[in-house]
Structure 1
Amino acid sequence: MPGPNPLIEELRTLPPRVSGDVLALAVRAAQHDGVKPLSEQTVLQARRLPEEETSPTSTHLVVRRGEGDGTIVAYGHVDEGDPQAPSAELVVDPAHRRQGIGGHLLDHVLERWPGVRLWSHGDLQDARRLYTSRELEVVRELWQMSRPLEGEWSELPDSVDLPDELAVRPFRVGQDEEAWLAVNARAFADHPEQGRMTLTDLREREGEPWFDPQGFLVVEDRAERDEEGVARLAAFHWTKVEDSGDGEVYVVGVDPDYQGRGLGKAATLLGLLHLRARGAETATLYVDGDNAAAIATYHRLGFERSAIDVQYAAGSPS
């Protein structure tokens, strides 16, 4: 029989030992479920030390088994970046499932953050059962799409032609951050996560083991320069190589002033060629399931859907 409801603690930052326990729980869940339960942004938030700059919109929910027992049995993270529709991720330790812990945590989140949207990475059956039991519905789909970079169906052009005034180069750490953040915000003004990236978020990623400025490709317009002679950033393709060796189209963006000129496709191809040169055999990317134009573009580039994340909320899809 399930015991008394576990204790839920709300924290702005996680003490180092708690952070380690939470991330270890997430690893156990990933090994059990075959999909990571937390997004990269949530993992980075969980790693932030108390003395570091914290996000005013981030709340960690640490669930312990009971009084006198410090065992962490579940974890949740709520991002209130959009106060009208905060987003959340929940994970229960595989060894403590089917004891009502997930439902207790979910009910707490629904009461504290009305309008919350809850991610289910991989659209797992247990998560679907839990969320629908509270009459939540799928309001967003995030597709993972993949294509081979080696072997059959991996054809790519040998090079990518750009207009004479445009040139590609690697990102310059310590110089390009502000210009890139401005273009990223413009390119993703309507995106609920990417468009809100801050300098702190960018710096955190620059400190990750996978970060490689040589794979962070920027396309600059050398015909347009500022007062200091710096060329304007027109587009970019930030690539990522996972520990497994697989490549990721981490993010592709085009300044709205340069849209309609084929730069999205060109930047994507430039990144795929880089990933193949790095030895990656597969490339993946993430795209919203209702972004028909982007999905059509990626289909033409050889990508097919390989996995799906879904987001649940009360009411009908907006």
Structure 2
Amino acid sequence: MHTEHLGLTPLESDMSAKHLAQFEAFVDAVTAHDGTSAFSEQTLVAVRQESAARTDGTHNRSASKARLFFISNDDSEILGAWVAVVPTPDAAGVLEGAVSPKHRGRGVASQAVSFVISALGKENLSQYTAWVHQVLTGEGDAIASAAEQLTSQYGFTPVRELHKMAVLLTDDSRTRIENATKNAALPEGIAIKTFEPATDALAWLTLNAAAFASHPEQGKLTHDDLAQRMESSWFDARGFFIAHAPNGLAGYHWTKVETAEEGEVYAVGISPAWQGKKLGKALTLTGMNHLAQYRTENGAQLERIVLYVDDDNQAAMHLYRSLGFEDLSVDRMYTH
């Protein structure tokens, strides 16, 4: 598919290695400017999996993971990128996108979204959810307002809010986190160890599915999804904590350090059998302390710990606020 209007050229990517590299560079540039990514981890994984399948010849069109769209100018500069994660029988598709910071406010998003929706088919929009990620700069409110108008124009309405919360790391907060971790009592019979891929992977997938049985993304992770994350440059088993019980895995806290400034409470999951026994708090503090004491290759310490939590998960939000986290931004999900 290919159209051209007013010097802007939308096109659907062939998912080549070249296009993947261009997309990754675009994502990095937008994230560096906005202070937050315009694409979720699951969306990025889907794009990489799709590109790899098409590159190595194992691609099956009926099992496509994602479709990637670009909009460029006459100089072949990428002004915007959109991803449609393909819906499956078990999960809705996902739409996410962004415009290059220096080209915002010029109608790029409007034309790009029109092209993407035409490619997907308006009759298929009910199979997708759309995410709008808040920009952490002075232009954030204007961008959020424009995104709201654009999603409304195509019949999408907001249904979910995801809060990004943060705690700043200072000498005082590092000491406070360390002391709280030492004083956090573990339930009887629980031992916390770091993740061992060879022995823990399958059991972790079972634990994660049970812990997030009602979660629209996290609970659906597969062995391929786990393998993809373990191959990421940020993966570090030393920051992946597993709570072992006598009869299996009771919970986990997976941390993530992707930049020199920020560490993330990537995921905390507790087996239903161990919920309500304060294991979640102990695991959360274990990961927080790891991030609080973490040093990069050049010896620098992180500036903050962040996490993402659904607005309707009041119990988790209460726990995180009690541990010093404060709201930083809110992302919104829309359905058709």
TM exceeds 0.5? yes
Q: Deviations over 1:3-28 (max 9, x none)?
A: 388444275xx110111122222233
Name 2:268's counterpart in structure 1.
252
Q: Per-residue deviation at 1:137?
A: 2.0
The alignment partner of 1:129 has SS state of: helix
Q: 1:127 aligns with which of 130, 140, 147?
A: 147
Name 2:37's counterpart in structure 1.
36
> Following superposition of structure 1 onto structure 2, how do residues 137-148 of structure 1 map, counting pairs within 5 Å?
137-148=157-168
Q: Per-residue deviation at 1:250?
A: 0.6
User: Residues 292, 110 of structure 1: CA spacing in aligned structure 2 closer, same or farther, 3 A cutoff?
Assistant: farther
Q: 1:177 aligns with which of 198, 201, 215?
A: 201
Confirm whether residue 59 of structure 1 aligns to residue 66 of structure 2. yes
User: Residues 18, 281 of structure 1: CA spacing in aligned structure 2 closer, same or farther, 3 A cutoff?
Assistant: closer
Name 1:218's counterpart in structure 2.
242
Structure 2 spans left out of the alignment, 5+ residues: 136-142, 295-300
Name 1:228's counterpart in structure 2.
none
Q: 1:114 aligns with which of 110, 116, 125?
A: 125
Confirm whether residue 92 of structure 1 aligns to residue 112 of structure 2. no
Conserved? CA contact 1:234–1:254, under 8 Å? yes
> Following superposition of structure 1 onto structure 2, how do residues 290-309 of structure 1 map, counting pairs within 5 Å?
290-309=312-331
The alignment partner of 1:165 has SS state of: coil
Q: Per-residue deviation at 1:102?
A: 2.9
The alignment partner of 2:12 has SS state of: strand
Q: 1:207 aligns with which of 222, 228, 231?
A: 231
The alignment partner of 1:35 has SS state of: coil
Name 1:21's counterpart in structure 2.
22
The alignment partner of 2:185 has SS state of: coil
Q: Per-residue deviation at 1:93?
A: 3.8
The letter of the residue matching 2:227 is: R
CA RMSD in angstroms comes to 2.9
Q: Per-residue deviation at 1:205?
A: 1.2
Q: Per-residue deviation at 1:174?
A: 1.8
| CA distance, structure 1, for counterparts of residue 57 and residue 293 of structure 2 | 37
Conserved? CA contact 2:208–2:219, under 8 Å? yes
- The structure richer in helix per residue is 2
Q: Per-residue deviation at 1:71?
A: 5.7
User: Residues 91, 158 of structure 1: CA spacing in aligned structure 2 closer, same or farther, 3 A cutoff?
Assistant: closer
User: Residues 149, 95 of structure 1: CA spacing in aligned structure 2 closer, same or farther, 3 A cutoff?
Assistant: closer
| CA distance, structure 2, for counterparts of residue 158 and residue 112 of structure 1 | 52
Structure 1 spans left out of the alignment, 5+ residues: 225-231
Q: Deviations over 1:40-86 (max 9, x none)?
A: 222233333222876935221323559x9866544322221466732
Q: Per-residue deviation at 1:176?
A: 0.8
| CA distance, structure 2, for counterparts of residue 135 and residue 75 of structure 1 | 21
Conserved? CA contact 2:157–2:334, under 8 Å? yes
Q: 1:288 aligns with which of 305, 310, 320?
A: 310
Conserved? CA contact 2:167–2:306, under 8 Å? yes
**How many pairs does the alignment contain?**
303
Name 1:229's counterpart in structure 2.
none
Name 1:76's counterpart in structure 2.
82
User: Residues 82, 302 of structure 1: CA spacing in aligned structure 2 closer, same or farther, 3 A cutoff?
Assistant: farther
Q: Per-residue deviation at 1:90?
A: 1.9
Q: Deviations over 1:221-272 (max 9, x none)?
A: 1x32xxxxxxx11111111123224221110001111112111111111111
The alignment partner of 2:131 has SS state of: strand
Conserved? CA contact 1:248–1:285, under 8 Å? yes
Q: Per-residue deviation at 1:29?
A: 3.1
Conserved? CA contact 2:160–2:333, under 8 Å? yes
Mean CA deviation greater in 43-52 or 142-151: 43-52
| CA distance, structure 2, for counterparts of residue 84 and residue 181 of structure 1 | 17
**TM-score of the aligned structures, taking structure 1 as reference length:** 0.84
Identical amino acids, percent of aligned pairs: 32
**TM-score of the aligned structures, taking structure 2 as reference length:** 0.80
Conserved? CA contact 1:58–1:77, under 8 Å? no
The alignment partner of 2:199 has SS state of: coil
